[in-house]
Amino acid sequence: MEQARAGEYDEFVAARWSGLCHLARLLTGGDRHRAEDLLQESLVRLWFVWPKIADEAPEAYVRKVLARAAARSARRRWWGERPVEELPEVAAAGDMSAIVAERSRLEAALALLTPRQRAAVVLRYYQDLPDRQVAEVLGCPVGTARSHAARGVARLRELLADVIEPVG
C-alpha cells in the first residue's frame, strides 16, 4: 500500500518537477534556492494528503500551497529584496546569453513587486488562470486579486519597457 502510494507520488513529482520548479522560481522572483525550498515544502505537504487528492488535482494543490507559502514567507521574513533605480544585468545586443539575460531581467523585475502582486501576476499570466481562480488560490476576494495583478503588470510595464517594445 505504502509502496504503491510512494510510486504514484514519485511518478507525479518526476513528471511535474520542471514546471513546478519554474513556477516556484517565478513566484520567488528568481531566487533558485528559495524556490527549491518552497517547492520541497509544498511537495512534502502533498505527500501527507496524497491519498485524498491523488485522483483529483494534486498539481492545483501544489500550486496553491506554493503561491500562499511564497506570499506568507515573504511577509514573514526579509529576503534581501531591495528596490533599485536601474535593473542589473542589462543584456548587450547580439550577446549569446541574451535569453538568459532576458530571463534574469524578468525575474529581477518580478522581484521588485510585492509578493502578492508577484503571485497574482504569475498565476494570471504564467498559469493562465482567470481572476476568480487567482483569488481562490491566494485566498482573497476577486477584486483584490484583480487589483494585485493590475498593479503588478503596471509596475512591470515600467520596469520592462526596454525589453518589451510597445507596438506602433
Partner 1 sequence: MDHFERQLTQLMHGDREPAAFEPRHRERLRAGVRARRRVRAARRAAGSVLAAAGLGLGLFLWPHSGVRDEPSAPHPWPATSPTGPAAPTPGVSPSVPAAGVTTSAPPPTDTTAPTDTPSATDGSTAPSSPTPTGTATATPDAGTTRSATHGSSGDSTATTSPPSTPATGGTDPSDGSSAGSSAAAGSAG
- The contact set with partner 1 (CB under 8 A) reads 10, 13-14, 17-19, 21-22, 25-26, 40-41, 43-45, 47-48, 99, 102-103, 106, 121-122, 125-126, 128, 153, 156-157, 160, 163-164, 166-167
Least distance CB 81 / partner 1 (angstroms): 19
Dihedral sign of CA atoms 20, 24, 25, 29 in order: positive
Of 29 and 78, which CB lies nearer to partner 1 in the complex structure? Answer: 29
The cell numbers describing 40, all together, are 520541497
Of 78 and 158, which CB lies nearer to partner 1 in the complex structure? Answer: 158
Question: What does the alpha-carbon distance between residue 37 and residue 40 come to, in Å, rounded to a whole number?
Answer: 5
Check residue 168 and report its DSSP letter. Answer: -
Least distance CB 94 / partner 1 (angstroms): 19
Least distance CB 153 / partner 1 (angstroms): 6
Whether the CB-CB separation of 66 and 23 falls below 8 Å is answered with: yes
Of 19 and 142, which CB lies nearer to partner 1 in the complex structure? Answer: 19
Of 4 and 78, which CB lies nearer to partner 1 in the complex structure? Answer: 4
Helix intervals (H) in the chain: 2-27, 32-53, 58-76, 98-111, 115-125, 131-138, 142-159
Least distance CB 164 / partner 1 (angstroms): 4
- Residue 148's alpha-carbon distances to 45, 88, 153, in angstroms, are 27, 25, 9
